Amino acid sequence: MHRFVYIALIVILAGIVLLFKFQNLESATVSLFSMSITLPVSVLVLVIYVLGMFTGGFVLSLLRSMAHGATRRP
């Protein structure tokens, strides 16, 4: 029974993501220094989300190692 609930949730989430993708086809230009790139808004949001996950994971890992080093006894 739980399998069908999970499958239904995945289908609903995939539908929401596809709906977001098709409703945000406009382009946005991002500039950094002298470089610029034009992407659809939905792709830009996805890239920013993934970069946020990576940087958040790195920061969390760094804080954990610092806390572990601070509590380690000499």
Strand partners, 35: 32
39-54: b (≥16 Cβ within 10 Å) or e: eeebebeeeeeeeeee
Asked if residues 28 and 44 have their Cβ atoms less than 8 Å apart, the reply is: yes
- The whole-number pLDDT of residue 36 equals 93
Profile the chain (74 residues) by mean pLDDT over runs of 10 residues.
89 90 86 90 87 88 81 70
Query: What is the biggest distance separating any 2 CA atoms in the chain, rounded to whole angstroms?
Result: 58
Closest CA relative to residue 45, chosen from 35, 57, 30, 60:
30
- The whole-number pLDDT of residue 73 equals 66
- The whole-number pLDDT of residue 43 equals 86
